[in-house]
Amino acid sequence: MAAAAPRRSGRTRPPAAWCCSRHGPAGLVILFVLILTLVSTGRAAEPPVPPGVVDLTFDRAEFATGDGPGAPDAGWTPASLPDNWHFTRPRLTGFGWYRVVFRLDAVPGHALALLAPRVAKRGEFRLNGTLLNPGVRFDAHGQGDGTQMALQPQLLHLPPEVLRAGTNVLLVKVQGSGAAYSGLHPMRLASPETLRPAWLLREVPQQLIPKVLLVLLCAVLVIGLATRWRHGHALTRHLLLVTAMWAALVATNLGLWSEPVAGLGVALIVTLLIAFNWALLALCFRFSASSWTWFPPLLKVCGIAMLVAVPVLLALGQTDALRWLVAPTIPLRALATVMLARWAWQERSARALALSGSEALWFAGFVQWVGVALGVLPNWPFVLSPADSLPLFVVLVVLEVNRMLAERDTAVREREAAIGAERERLLHDMHDGVGSQLTTALRLAQQDPPDPPLLVRTIDDALQDLRLIIDSLDLADQALLPLLGNLRHRLAPRLAALGIRLDWEAQPLPPIEGLTPQSALLVLRIVQEAIHNAVRHADASVIGIGIAPDPAGGASVCVTDNGRGGVPLGSGGDPMRQRGLRIMGQRAARLGAELRIGPAAGDAGTRLELRLPPKLADDREPRPV
Amino acid sequence: MTPQPAAVTVLVVEDDPGQRDAFADMVRGAAGLVLYDAVGSLGAARRALEGRSPPDVVVLDLGLTDGDGTQLLLHLRQQAPDTAVLVATVFGDEGHVIRALEAGAGGYLLKDSTPAEFERALRLVHEGSAPLSPKIASHLLRRFAAPRPPAAGSAAPQDRLTARETQILTLVAQGYMVPEVARSLHLSAHTVTTHIKHIYEKLDVNNRVQAVNRARATGQIE
């Protein structure tokens, strides 16, 4: 039995300089990750190990295959750690054994632990025949239901008296597959205090941060769905969809459910990965102000093509090829990283830097994952993914909340502006109508001698005008007809009491674009003034109101009477009537409408026609009419 | 000798003394109308009704000094279902009118109505007619077309308009009066009025609760 010589140091080897030969944005990102890794793992030179203290690193072992309960008797070959089956034994699927034999001069007087930073997919550790990690479940039926240990660094505290003076044998039984990244990384035997920093370096990014991320994802998802359901707004559907897929992927990485190994399971996970990358990259584009407008259509085309390929490959039974469908996401994510970096460089804002930086970190984790899986990256101190996506998620949520707050502020400002404008309009309308009429009424009441009939008429005019204002406020569905009908409904009994018949002929009108309470009030005032003119100045006995759609679009409102006949505008006559006609003309002009006043058919009476265009003039500014 | 129609007794509930006197004078001045009482508060109205047979018509202001007039409306709906209530309003706006209809009012009356209009409105509501303005009709069309809140469950028949009722509301919303609507649909004015009354009943919350209870009692609904 050949004894593998342990090294007496716990230092990791420096990363190879392979990445420097790469160029382009992906190379830059990888360089960035390497720097980040070096910074995070850079440790000062460790002091020499004092005599009597054990600190052994096992980076060489022997390997043999065998699926029995005990280590095989023969077939052992030397193996250097890390050992990646994908390259050293690509055809192996099942169980392999690693054996490390080492000597101790004496039984150490302090507690010891074994650190196995990575064992994939799962493994059992035995030292001198004692099982160090009971409870490991091997995948017995190829269902993917074994314990998932790939991201779980193993810090195994050695029971007392398990070590011997002289020869010690460490056996590791590993279950894995040459098709995936399986195998064993170098192990270290030292005091728990010595190993703890190295264990934390993997435990925190590979276990703790992903768990925090999962909790955060679930919390945002629950709060987002609840507020959306209760208030009908809050987080966008896009972000909620991304969050749900994100949570599912992180949970898969953490091994919260069985690893998909069968065709349908793999198809599902591949579909999830494609959809997630598509949705998340589209979200990143939405939050950026990048000018690459071709990027979302490209994402869409690639996303649809990849998603369509999943059921096709599944139907053809090409389960192994399914995994390669994720490959096109690599250039897409590289493009997104370049796009965001370019936008951040142009904008140079905290928002842009946060989004671009967090996305670059996420991409770096992805590159690392692919690189490690392909064996082009050396033994990294820890796996970035899925912890690398935590900053991106936080940035996206912050940006989304900022967007919502900005939207709410805009809505509040718009509402305040609308309320202010409407208040101004009401004041203006009341000033011109009710206000001036009540002032006249007051003057009439105070004059000597008073003129009771004129006083009553003036107050009545004020009341009628106030009713027009109130009617116009309840403009629904751009419907002018109910407002005009209400005017008729109110005036008809009064006119009937005076012996005047008010005929009515109305056809349904098309919606009139730009019809606001303000423009509706102008129409109502024109029609009311026309009826008043017919009653007060023309001595009419029959007044007809005809409302119909205009052949040119819009609507036509006709007021005819059988009175004494009209007085053309500007041709003299009763100054009050002339003033009324002029104001009607000005109101029609504000609507962008055409007003025609002339003799009725047969020269008996007057005909007023107001032709409203399909789109009324925008008349928001109060004018002195 | 033709029999004289029975006099219509009218209770006026209005807190503004000038308006109350004007209404009371209009009742006194109209042949066939008899003033039951004219009071200015809810409390006074309740006292006026105590121990006497209820009036035929109540002219009611909703904004009274000691409470909301709808309280009296609900009380009358339970204690004197044959008494018709006309709500007096300045503008006839939807806010007031729909609230009054929901509480069981038979119609509304503008406060500046002339004596002739006043008398006509009182006689119509006493005979069972229901006045309906185009804007209220338009409002009702929108209201019945709007989906019910989920809590209310699926719309029961008493919550939906019939095709005929929709036709009538549509024509009224276009500005046509009841006789014109009747001519247009080849119906009698009385039939149109009956349809409008049914629409009012569908609005009346109290009436709807009673309808559901009746349907449940007769096994029409579970």
Nearest chain A alpha carbon to B111: A463
The residue of chain A nearest to residue B113, with distances taken between CA atoms, is: A494
Residue B173 touches chain A, beta carbons under 8 Å: yes
Which residues of chain A make contact with B177, given a CB cutoff of 8 A?
489, 492, 504
Identity of the residue in B114, B138, B139 whose CB atom sits nearest the CB atom of A497: B114
Q: What percent of chain A shows pLDDT beyond 90?
A: 28
Instruction: Select the residue of B112, B137, B139 nearest A463 (Cβ to Cβ).
Output: B112
Contact A482, B137 (CB under 8 A): yes
pLDDT band at B147 (very low <50, low <70, confident <90, very high): low
Cα(B148)–Cα(B188) distance, integer angstroms: 32
Work out how many CB contacts closer than 8 A connect A with B: 73
Convert A412-432 to b/e letters by CB count within 10 Å (16 or more is b).
eeeeeeeeeeeeebbebbbeb
The set of residues, in sequence order, having a beta carbon less than 8 Å from that of A188 and lying 6+ positions away, is A10, A55, A56, A57, A58, A114, A115, A195, A198
Comparing CB atoms, the residue among B117, B120, B173 nearest residue A485 is: B173
d(CA A418, CA A421): 5
Give the model's pLDDT for residue A370. Answer: 76
Q: Residue A24 in contact with residue A330, Cβ under 8 Å?
A: no
From chain B, the residues in CB contact with A524 under 8 A are: none
Residue of B92, B94, B175 lying closest to A485 (CB–CB): B175
What are the residues whose beta carbons fall under 8 Å from the beta carbon of A462, sequence distance 6 or more? A433, A434, A437, A438, A441
- What 3 state SS string does A103-139 have? EECCCCCCCCEEEECCEECEEEEEECCEECCCCCCCC
pLDDT at A580 over 90: no
Asked whether residue B102 carries a pLDDT value surpassing 90, the answer given is no
% pLDDT > 70, chain A = 84
Order the strands of the A56-58 sheet from edge to edge: A56-58, A187-190, A113-116, A154-157
Are residues A481 and B134, on separate chains, in Cβ contact within 8 Å?
yes
* Strand B57-61 to B67-68 pairing: unpaired
Eight-state DSSP code of residue B3: P
CB atoms B135 and A485 under 8 Å = yes
Which chain A residues are closer than 8 Å to B92 by Cβ? 467, 490
The pLDDT confidence band at residue B176, using thresholds 50, 70 and 90, is very high
Q: Please list, in sequence order, all residues whose beta carbon lies within 8 angstroms of the beta carbon of residue A544, skipping any fewer than 6 positions away.
A: A502, A503, A504, A505, A558, A559, A560, A561
The answer to whether residues A357 and A301 touch, using CB atoms and an 8 Å cutoff, is no
Nearest by CB to A504, from B93, B110, B175: name it.
B175
Q: Tokens 């009747």: give the residue.
A: B182
Check A485 against B172: CB less than 8 A apart: yes
Percentage of chain B beyond pLDDT 90 is: 35
Which residue of B lies nearest to A509 if distances are taken between CA atoms? B174
Give CA–CA dist A125/A178, Å, rounded.
21
Minimum distance, in Å, between the CA of residue B220 and any CA atom of chain A = 34
Q: The tokens of A54 are what?
A: 């054990």
In contact, B114 and A494? CB cutoff 8 Å? yes
> What residues of A are in contact with residue B94 (Cβ under 8 Å)?
474
- Is the Cβ of A493 closer than 8 Å to some Cβ of chain B? yes
Inform me whether the C-beta atom of residue B54 falls under 8 Å from chain A C-beta atoms.
no
Q: Do B175 and A494 touch (CB under 8 A)?
A: no
pLDDT of res. B211: 55
Output the CA–CA distances (angstroms, integers) from residue A370 to A77, A330, A363, in the order listed: 29, 9, 11
What are the tens digits of pLDDT across the range B38-87?
Answer: 999 999 999 999 989 999 999 999 888 888 888 898 888 888 888 999 99
Tokens encoding A188: 């270290």
Q: Could you tell me if A64 and A99 are in contact, meaning their C-beta atoms sit under 8 angstroms apart?
A: yes
Span B6-45, pLDDT tens digits? 789 999 999 999 999 999 999 999 988 999 999 999 999 9
Nearest CA in chain A to B169: A482
Cβ–Cβ < 8 Å for A82, A184 = yes
CA distances from B222 to A205, A558, B214 (A): 60, 55, 11
Beta carbons of A504 and B176 less than 8 Å apart: yes
Gap between the Cα atoms of A184 and A85, Å rounded: 9
Residue of A nearest to B92 (CA): A467
Q: Which of A535, A526, A621 lies closest to A583 in space, CA to CA? A: A526
pTM, to two decimals: 0.57
A483 close to A520: Cβ distance less than 8 angstroms: yes
Residues in chain A: 625
Contact B175 A467 (CB under 8 A): no
Q: Give the chain A residue whose CA is nearest to the CA of B132.
A: A489
The pLDDT value given to residue A86? 81
Distance in angstroms (rounded) separating the CA atoms of residues A20 and A30: 9
Q: Which of residues 24-43 of B touch A (CB under 8 A)?
A: none
Q: Which of A474, A479, A506 sits opposite B94 (nearest CB)?
A: A474
pLDDT given for residue B1 in this prediction: 46
The strand order across the sheet containing A122-127 reads A77-80, A60-65, A93-104, A166-177, A122-127, A130-131
Residue B151's identity, in one-letter code, is A
Quick count: other Cβ atoms within 10 Å of Cβ B162? 13
User: Least CA distance to B175: which residue of chain A?
Assistant: A485
Q: Which residues of B touch A499 (CB under 8 A)?
A: none
DSSP A385: T
Nearest to A506 among B133, B137, B174 (CB): B174
Q: How many Å lie between the alpha carbon of A477 and the closest alpha carbon of chain B?
A: 9
Nearest Cα residue in chain B from A468: B91
- From the number of C-beta atoms within 10 Å of its C-beta (0-12, 13-18, 19+), residue A261 rates as middle
Alpha-carbon distance of B92 to B137, in angstroms, equals 12
A506/B173 CB distance under 8 A:
no
* A471 touches B127 (CB < 8 A): no
Checking if the pLDDT of A574 tops 70, the result is no
Strands across the sheet with A119-120, in order?
Answer: A83-84, A183-184, A119-120
> Mapping DSSP to helix (H, G, I), strand (E, B) and coil, where does residue A182 land?
coil
CB-based burial label for A3 (10 Å; 0-12, 13-18, 19+): middle
Is residue B170 within 8 A of residue B142, CB to CB? The reply is no
Q: Is A574 on the interface with B (CB under 8 A)?
A: no
Give the pLDDT of residue A612: 92
Q: Is the peptide bond before A449 cis (omega within 30 degrees of 0)?
A: yes
Q: Do B177 and A489 touch (CB under 8 A)?
A: yes
What is A305-331 written as a DSSP string? HHHHHHHHHHHTT-HHHHGGGGTTHHH
Could you say which of B117, B134, B139 has the minimum Cβ distance to residue A493? B117
Helix (H) or strand (E) holding B207: helix B205-217
Q: Angle A247-A249-A250 (CA atoms, 0-180°, nearest 5)? A: 65
Is B123's Cβ below 8 Å from some Cβ in A? no
Top-confidence residue, A545 or A407: A545
- Provide the mean pLDDT of chain B: 82
For residue B183, name the pLDDT band (cuts at 50, 70, 90): very high
- Between B189-203 and B205-217, two packed helices, what is the crossing angle to 10 degrees? 90
B142 shares contact with chain A (CB less than 8 Å) = yes
Cis amide linkage into residue A121, ω under 30° from 0: yes
- Judge: B134–A485 Cβ closer than 8 Å, yes or no: yes
pLDDT digits (tens, 9 = 90+) for A241-281: 999 999 998 888 887 776 666 677 778 888 998 999 999 99
Q: Determine the Cα angle at A295 with ends A291 and A298, to 5°.
A: 155
Query: CA-CA distances (angstroms) from residue B70 to A176, A428, B139?
Result: 80, 35, 20
Q: What is the pLDDT of residues A440-449, one digit of tens each?
A: 888 888 887 8
Provide the ipTM: 0.80
Q: Which residues are CB-contacts of A8 (< 8 A; sequence separation ≥ 6)? A: A49, A55, A56, A57
- For residue B85, the cross-strand partners are B58
Write the CB contacts of B179 (distance below 8 Å, at least 6 apart in sequence): B189
| B91 touches A: beta carbon within 8 Å | yes
- For residues A330 and A366, the answer to whether their CB atoms sit within 8 Å is yes
A527: Cβ contacts below 8 Å, ≥ 6 apart: A484, A487, A545, A557, A559, A610
Query: Does residue A337 sit in helix, strand or coil?
Result: helix
Phi-psi region for residue A113, left (φ > 0), alpha (ψ -120 to 50) or beta? Answer: beta
Mean pLDDT, chain A, integer: 82
Pick among B109, B133, B135 to test the A interface (most A CBs inside 10 A)? B135
Judge whether A474 is closer than 8 Å to chain B, CB to CB: yes
Task: Name which of A9-23, A295-309, A567-581, B115-129 the model is least confident about.
Answer: A9-23
Q: Which residues contact A571 (CB under 8 A, 6 or more apart)?
A: none
What pLDDT was estimated at residue B21? 93
Q: How many residues would you count in chain B?
A: 222
d(CA B165, CA A287): 52
Q: Which of A553, A554, A558, A556 is nearest to A543 (CA)?
A: A558
pLDDT per residue as tens digits for the range A13-68: 333 333 333 344 444 445 455 545 544 444 444 556 666 778 899 999 999 998 88
User: Is A547 in Cβ contact with B112 (below 8 Å)?
Assistant: no
Residue with tokens 């009617």: A471
CA distances (Å), origin A552, targets A392, A544, A559, A607, A614: 57, 23, 19, 20, 8
Q: How are beta strands A122-127 and A56-58 bridged, if at all?
A: unpaired
Position A173 confidence tier, pLDDT thresholds 50, 70, 90: very high
Residues of B in contact with A505 (CB under 8 A): none
Q: Residue B12 in contact with residue B37, Cβ under 8 Å?
A: yes
